[in-house]
C-alpha cells in the first residue's frame, strides 16, 4: 500500500470519524481480554481509556485506576476490540438513524461500499460533533460502473471514462475507489492502472469477463461476495449444482480444477476476500421466502424494506417446491472460505447491510456465525472482524487491546472463543472513548439517536 494511501486512511480513521467530545476516563477492571495477539484470553486485566485512546492495559494488580474514572466491573466478562463490518451501504432510506444500530451491536467501524459522498461527509461531521451516534466510516463514495444501476455511481463505459472516474473520485476526497460488475475488461484495467498511478486503493466486484486472478494481479485490494472466484466441485457436483434458475447464478459456479494456485496468487498479491454470506442467504433459500433476518424487521423502517425489495427484486419464476441448489452451494462456499483462510488468504467480515437478512449491526453477528459454521475457528472469525480490518487499512492504531490503540471496545458476558454466538451477548460498548452501557444500548436500539 502506498504511503499516500496509508496517510489518507489514517486521517479517515482518526480525524474524520467520531473524535470524543471530552477526555472522559473509562476503566474496565478484572476483565479477560481477547484479541489477535493470542488465541487464549489474557486473564484478570484492567483496561483504561482516556478520551479516544487506551492508556492502560495490563494485569489488574499492576494498574491503578485514576480518580474520577467511570469504573466497569469486568469480572466474569470478556473484552474484545470493536468489530468491523467491511461491506455496508449507509446512505439509504432512513440510513441516518440506522447508524446507531452498529454501535449498539458493537460494530464500531464500517467500510461503506457505495453511498452519496456529500451525505457521508455530513454524517462524519455530525458524528464528530457528538450530534449523531455512529461508527467510523471509511467510504468509496459512488462506485465506477459500466451500466446504469439504482445506486450512487459514475458511469464509466470506456477506458477514458474509467480514468476520468478515478480522477473525479480522488478530487472528491474518497478513501478508496470501488469498481462494479458491468465494467468491460478494457475499462476495468484502465481504472486499475489509473488507481495504481494515483496511489489509491480500489476494491469491489469482479466480473467473470475480468476474472478474479486478473483482478488480483491488477492490484484490486479486496474482492467482494466471492465474485468470479469459482467453487471447488467434483465433476458430478458441477452438474448437480449448476444453477437451475438465473438468480442462483449469484452464488457462483463450480470448477473441478485445483484452486490452490488461485489462493496462492491472492496471498502473493495481498488480495483480501469479503464473502458477505449473510447477504446470500435469501438467494440460497429461494423460493422459500423466509430468512433469519425477518425476526429483526422491527429495526428497519417499512420504507427501507420496500426500497431494497425494489432495487433487488427476487423473481417469482421459481415455483415453490422446486429443486433448489442454493442451500448446497452456499454450504460449499462457506467451507471454501475456511479453506482459503487456511491457505493464507485474508478474510474480511461484511454483510452488505442494510439488506433484508443483514440489518445494520445485527447482520454482522450472523456473518460471524456463518463463517464459524463453514469451518473457521471462533478465534479466526473474531480476528477477521477486528484485527484483519486494521491490517487491511494498514492502521497500527486499531485491531487489538493495547496501550495507544483507539478506544473501540466491546464488553461481552460470555466467551466468544467457546462459541462465536457470544459476540451477541454485549454488556457494554466503548466507541472512540464513549461508553454505551446497557441502558444506552437499549435507547440506541429503539430510537437510533444520541
At residue 391, the pLDDT reads: 97
The string of DSSP letters for 20-67 reads: -SS--EEEEEEEEE--TT-SS-EEEEEEEEETTEEEEEEEGGG-PPPT
The string of DSSP letters for 380-392 reads: HHHHHHTHHHHHH
Q: Which cell goes with 182? A: 458491468
Q: What are phi and psi of 183, to 5 degrees?
A: -70, 135
Q: Which of the residues in the chain have pLDDT under 50?
A: 3-4, 6-8, 10-11, 14-21, 448-450
Are 93 and 303 spatial neighbours (Cβ–Cβ below 8 Å)? yes
Choose among 98, 83, 94: nearest CA to 359.
Answer: 98
3-class DSSP state of 96: helix
At residue 27, the pLDDT reads: 98
In degrees, rounded to 5, the angle at the alpha carbon of residue 366 between the alpha carbons of residues 135 and 30 is 65
Q: How many residues does the chain have?
A: 450
At residue 301, the pLDDT reads: 83
Specify the CATH number of the domain 3-9+83-140+221-397: 3.20.20
**Neighbouring-strand partners of residue 25:** 50
Are 234 and 210 spatial neighbours (Cβ–Cβ below 8 Å)? no
Q: Which cell goes with 132? A: 449523531
At residue 315, the pLDDT reads: 65
At residue 167, the pLDDT reads: 98
At residue 287, the pLDDT reads: 66
> Is the torsion defined by CA of 331, 336, 341, 347 positive or negative?
negative
Amino acid at each position: 500500500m502506498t504511503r499516500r494511501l496509508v496517510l489518507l486512511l489514517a486521517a479517515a480513521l482518526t480525524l474524520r470519524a467520531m473524535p470524543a467530545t471530552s477526555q472522559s476516563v473509562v476503566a474496565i477492571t478484572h476483565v479477560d481480554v481477547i484479541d489477535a495477539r493470542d488465541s487464549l484470553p489474557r486473564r484478570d486485566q484492567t483496561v483504561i481509556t482516556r478520551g479516544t485512546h487506551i492508556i492502560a492495559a495490563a494485569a489488574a494488580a499492576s494498574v491503578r485506576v485514576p480518580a474520577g474514572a467511570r469504573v466497569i466491573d469486568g469480572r466474569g466478562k470478556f473484552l474484545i476490540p470493536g468489530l468491523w463490518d467491511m461491506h455496508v451501504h449507509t446512505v439509504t432510506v432512513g440510513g441516518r438513524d440506522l447508524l446507531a444500530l452498529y454501535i449498539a451491536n458493537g460494530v464500531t467501524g464500517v467500510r461503506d461500499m457505495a453511498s452519496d459522498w456529500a451525505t457521508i461527509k455530513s454524517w462524519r461531521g455530525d458524528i464528530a460533533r457528538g450530534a449523531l451516534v455512529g461508527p467510523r466510516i471509511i467510504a468509496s463514495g459512488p462506485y465506477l460502473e459500466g451500466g446504469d444501476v439504482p445506486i450512487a455511481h459514475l458511469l464509466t463505459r470506456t477506458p477514458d471514462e474509467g480514468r476520468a472516474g478515478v480522477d473525479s473520485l480522488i478530487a472528491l476526497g474518497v478513501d478508496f475507489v470501488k469498481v462494479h460488475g458491468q465494467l468491460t475488461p478494457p475499462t476495468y484495467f484502465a481504472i486499475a492502472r489509473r488507481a495504481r498511478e494515483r496511489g489509491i486503493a480500489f476494491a469491489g466486484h469482479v466480473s467473470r469477463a475480468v476474472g478474479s486472478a486478473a483482478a488480483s494481479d491488477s492490484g484490486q485490494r479486496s474482492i467482494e461476495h466471492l465474485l468470479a472466484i469459482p467453487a471447488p466441485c467434483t465433476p458430478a457436483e458441477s452438474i448437480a449444482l449448476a444453477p437451475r434458475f438465473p438468480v442462483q447464478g449469484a452464488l457462483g459456479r463450480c470448477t473441478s480444477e485445483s484452486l490452490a494456485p488461485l489462493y496462492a496468487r491472492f496471498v502473493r498479491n495481498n488480495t483480501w476476500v469479503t464473502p458477505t454470506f449473510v447477504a446470500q442467504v435469501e438467494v440460497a433459500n429461494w423460493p422459500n421466502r423466509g430468512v433469519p433476518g425477518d425476526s429483526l424487521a422491527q429495526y428497519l423502517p417499512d420504507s427501507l424494506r420496500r426500497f431494497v425489495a425494489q432495487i433487488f427484486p427476487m423473481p417469482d419464476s421459481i415455483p415453490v417446491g422446486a429443486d433448489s441448489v442454493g442451500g448446497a452451494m452456499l454450504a460449499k462456499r462457506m467451507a471454501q472460505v475456511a479453506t482459503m483462510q487456511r491457505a493464507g488468504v485474508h478474510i474480511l467480515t461484511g454483510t452488505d447491510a442494510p439488506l433484508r437478512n443483514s440489518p445494520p449491526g445485527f447482520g454482522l453477528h450472523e456473518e460471524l456465525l456463518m463463517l464459524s459454521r463453514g469451518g473457521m475457528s471462533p478465534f479466526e472469525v473474531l480476528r477477521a472482524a477486528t484485527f484483519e480490518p486494521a491490517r487491511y487499512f494498514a492502521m497500527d492504531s486499531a485491531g487489538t487491546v493495547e496501550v495507544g490503540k483507539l478506544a473501540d471496545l466491546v464488553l461481552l458476558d460470555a466467551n466468544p472463543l467457546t462459541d462465536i454466538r457470544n459476540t451477541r451477548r454485549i454488556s457494554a460498548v466503548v466507541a472512540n472513548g464513549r461508553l454505551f452501557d446497557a441502558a444506552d444500548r437499549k435507547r440506541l436500539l429503539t430510537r437510533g439517536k444520541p
